[in-house]
Structure 1
Amino acid sequence: MTSDRLKLLICSAGRRVGLLQSFRAAANRLSMGLEVIACDLNPDNSAACALADAALPVPRCDDPGYAEAVLDVTRKHGINLVVPTIDPELLPLAQADDDFTRLGARLHVSPTSVIEVVRDKQRTSEVLAAAGVPVPRTFDQAGLLANPDQISWPVFAKPSGGSASRGLEVFDRVEDIPPEFPEPMIFQDMLRGPEYTVNMFVDASGQLRTVIPHLRMQVRAGEVEKGETRRRADLHEVAEGIAHALPDLRGVACFQVIDDPDLGPRVIEINARFGGGYPLADHAGAHFAQWLLEEVSGRPCSAHDNWREGVKMMRYDCAVYQG
């Protein structure tokens, strides 16, 4: 039985206006009524919350009560689809997946077995390498210090559980590495070359349906500001390898690749959610938002890989006014 009206909850809505607009455009193409509810720590200061049909406050996503707060919103408002947007909320929500299912809501989060891998960059590297997916050499601090000659210097360092380009460092010599960091770090080959985001869609049956890379021409605060879609068979093959390495991955995901001139493409991280650059993929014809609405509403999923190459996105600042 299909539904002609759905309620969508976008979590940690923040500045995700493009994502909200993609879902509304998808509902229009499907001739479906869609009510968009957004939640955020401070919805009064969120552009996406201001443009939603309703907005609600929730605790920080690292608060022990965060998942229950999102469940409460889902229960009270009869939400059909819950879409998280930032990495730290994925695990607490995934752990509550059965509770969302009992409420009749689709939680757009892969199982905890997937999230526990992609939220730990050390494990990501190990799992992908074991599946034959190309990754940079990766060591934890103890492993690197035990044998500094196993990697070329300088090395690239980042928090194992980090996101949004937080805590990135470069060390030229082993002597430059401090004895302690505020959080666990990983150390990798210092890659050079162009960087790509590769958006992928895995349908409810586990089939990889779409792979759409875009060149990250310019980045601000870890999010693509200028990008262009590119068809690359080698990156499609990498996406197939990731889907094989993470067989329980579902829905939307994206991964970052640096195409090193000497080593070739190397996967540096995976985000099991809508990436910040998703509106570019959507504009190019990879309508992930529509395909999720189709799955949730009981329609046949129309996912395809027929997106347009050479579509360019050039973001600019825009204001939302209230009062």
Structure 2
Amino acid sequence: MTAVLFTCAGQRVDIVSAFGRAGATTVGADADRLAPALYHADHMALVPRIDDDGYVPALADLVREHDVRLVVPLTDLDQALLARSTRELAPALVLVPAPEVCATMGDKYRAHAFFVEHGLDSPRSWLPADVPDDARYPLLVKVREGFGSRHIHRARDPEELAFFLRYTPVDSFVQECCLGEEFSIDVFCDLDSRCLNAIPRTMIQSKGGESIKGRSIQDRELIEHGARVAETVGIVGPANVQCFREPDGSLPVTDVNPRFGGAFPLPLAAGSRYPELALALARGERPEPRIGEFREGIVMTRFFSDLCLVDDGTDLRPFAEELPHPLAAEPGEV
């Protein structure tokens, strides 16, 4: 069985469990011992924070200890660091694009410039000092390096734009709002950035920057667009392409996140087989593209779940089902 190390495991129980069902031995790593995904992995490990010099050496120790063959980051936080650390983590395959791809896609203004330079539509965008008089309001003030829809402000006129540019505490840029419908396309590429599949989905509802309701759609234009964007960017492994379909028919790209998307369960249920493809790459195989091979009409609606742990004084372990429930006394009882 191929051992897979998941970094920044966090709440991504869905991804860790999916790889387990695909036949992987799963190793979850996080700095927070309350990260739920740790307790759904076959092995768990607490590691230093990403900004600690000991972070990569700790991951390298796990690679050796568990004979890890695949490293999969589950957030944007350590992608660029892992991309620069492939030698330290060898012989495991680190499922991230090249460092320059991570750096470019991680800076949303640089990403916009890249899209335009390579012939991909992108909403008009400017640095704060360069916003022209003919900019179409409302405008968005967006953080250049961030995630989860944090530090995004909608300005209805020049006065609000000036206010939000003064108000925001982060390095930002300005972008015109798109007018059409938004879509996400979950893609997966091989080590040569050849797209193996692209699965579009509607954005019925989002919360905190993540889709919580959506539907898979067989839209040939979006499928081909997602594949083209992924191959142009140089994606390796998974990515999420966000775009709009504008009234003029254009498909401006607003974001490319080189990781599994928050709505991972939807393309998985639609038949993406992305965990199996990742494991095949780790084994040195070269899967053939299966563009458009997925089921349309799969509807996802996400919900909160929970994990209860028992603190035995030295460690935490999942709540044992055989224990009487509830353990606490009823109101009024000793």
TM-score by length of 2: 0.86
Equivalent pair of 1:133/1:238 in contact (CA under 8 Å): no
Root-mean-square deviation (CA, aligned residues, Å) is 1.8
Q: Distance in 2 between matches of 1:71 and 1:150?
A: 52
One-letter code aligned to 2:26: V
| Match status 1:267 vs 2:256 | no
Q: Distance in 2 between matches of 1:193 and 1:263?
A: 9
Please state whether the residue corresponding to 1:87 is helix, strand or coil: coil
**Structure label with greater radius of gyration:** 2
1:225-253: CA deviation from partner (whole Å, max 9, x where unpaired): 1110012222223224323432x321111
1:184-206: CA deviation from partner (whole Å, max 9, x where unpaired): 11111112333211011111233
Equivalent pair of 1:132/1:241 in contact (CA under 8 Å): no
Mind listing any 5+ residue stretches in structure 2 that lack a counterpart? 309-317, 320-334
Q: In the superposition, relative to structure 1, how do residues 99 and 150 fare at CA in structure 2: closer, same or farther (>3 Å)?
A: farther
State the match for 1:307 in structure 2: 294
State the match for 1:201 in structure 2: 188
State the match for 2:312 in structure 1: none
Q: Distance in 1 between matches of 2:2 and 2:36?
A: 22
State the match for 1:157 in structure 2: 141
**1:36 aligned to which of 26, 35, 50:** 26
Kindly, what percent of the aligned residue pairs are identical? 27
| Match status 1:230 vs 2:190 | no
List 4+ stretches of structure 1 deviating above 6 A: none
TM-score by length of 1: 0.89
TM-aligned CA deviation for residue 299 of structure 1: 4.3
Q: In the superposition, relative to structure 1, how do residues 220 and 112 fare at CA in structure 2: closer, same or farther (>3 Å)?
A: same
TM-aligned CA deviation for residue 262 of structure 1: 4.9
Mind listing any 5+ residue stretches in structure 1 that lack a counterpart? 28-33
TM-aligned CA deviation for residue 265 of structure 1: 2.6
State the match for 1:31 in structure 2: none
Q: Distance in 2 between matches of 1:171 and 1:64?
A: 40
Q: What is the number of equivalent residue pairs in this alignment? A: 306
Q: Distance in 1 between matches of 2:272 and 2:178?
A: 29
Q: Distance in 2 between matches of 1:303 and 1:49?
A: 32
What is the correspondence of 1:22-61 to structure 2 with a 5 Å cutoff?
A: 22-27=18-23, 34-43=24-33, 45-61=34-50
What is the correspondence of 1:1-323 to structure 2 with a 5 Å cutoff?
A: 5-27=1-23, 34-43=24-33, 45-101=34-90, 104-144=91-131, 147=132, 149-176=133-160, 177-178=162-163, 180=166, 181-246=168-233, 248-262=234-248, 264-299=250-285, 301=287, 303-305=289-291, 306-321=293-308, 322-323=318-319
